[in-house]
Chain A
């Protein structure tokens, strides 16, 4: 599976949009981009995933560049409860264990 690179930490003001970048320059054509977040002492929470097109759900939006070498997770109106470690993961579509490989992630601190 392709590796990802994320900034170790980011701050965001409450009520503002949080834009979390991720680089995955070695991504293959059949690899999906996934985002999870983990609040301390809890299990990871699935946020969103995509292959080529931009995606939006009730939690966030995922913007994938045309060459698919990077993506951005957007939390449109960050709240204090969005403070967490955010993980960007690329994952092969088939033929492997299906495991998720979590890197170090980005610690997002939402401030009042």
Chain B
């Protein structure tokens, strides 16, 4: 079935360590997104990408990096510069045709990152 796969489901990071969260989609969507969700809060946009080899910062990009070398993959690296990385990370994708507004974003099941 088509969908978005995020791995791992749970991830633990030591202080000063970079970690990479995987996001793969087989929906043939052009756009991909990374959001962060803190307990009891809404989602905040970290990075997004509309096309391969191009991506843009969202509202809270500091301490994060991404790449988009393939259409189906959009990995997120949480660097040691991110001082409060403990959160639930969600990846989403959507088509681009017809304008943003009329294209639903579909989400993966998330990665929960914790600091040891």
A residues contacting B by CB (< 8 A) are 30-32, 34, 41-46, 49, 51, 87, 91-105
> Is there contact, CB below 8 Å, between B100 and A93?
yes
Give chain B's interface secondary structure class: strand
B residues contacting A by CB (< 8 A) are 4, 6, 31, 33, 35, 42-43, 45, 48, 56, 58-59, 88, 90, 92, 94, 99-110, 112
With A43-B90, A44-B43, A94-B99: A100-B105 Cβ-Cβ less than 8 Å: yes
Complexed CA–CA distance, A72 and B57 (Å): 33
Complexed CA–CA distance, A100 and B103 (Å): 11
> Is there contact, CB below 8 Å, between B101 and A42?
no
A-B contacts, CB under 8 A, total: 72
Complexed CA–CA distance, A96 and B31 (Å): 13
Q: A43-B90, A93-B99 are in contact. List 7 more A-B contacts (CB 8 A).
A: A43-B4, A51-B101, A93-B100, A98-B48, A100-B92, A100-B105, A102-B42
Complexed CA–CA distance, A49 and B103 (Å): 9
Q: Across the interface, which residues of B come within 8 angstroms of A93, CB to CB? A: 99-102
Complexed CA–CA distance, A41 and B110 (Å): 8
Complexed CA–CA distance, A86 and B6 (Å): 22
Q: Across the interface, which residues of B come within 8 angstroms of A41, CB to CB? A: 88, 110, 112
Q: Across the interface, which residues of A come within 8 angstroms of B48, CB to CB? A: 97-99
Q: Across the interface, which residues of B come within 8 angstroms of A43, CB to CB? A: 4, 6, 90, 92, 107-110
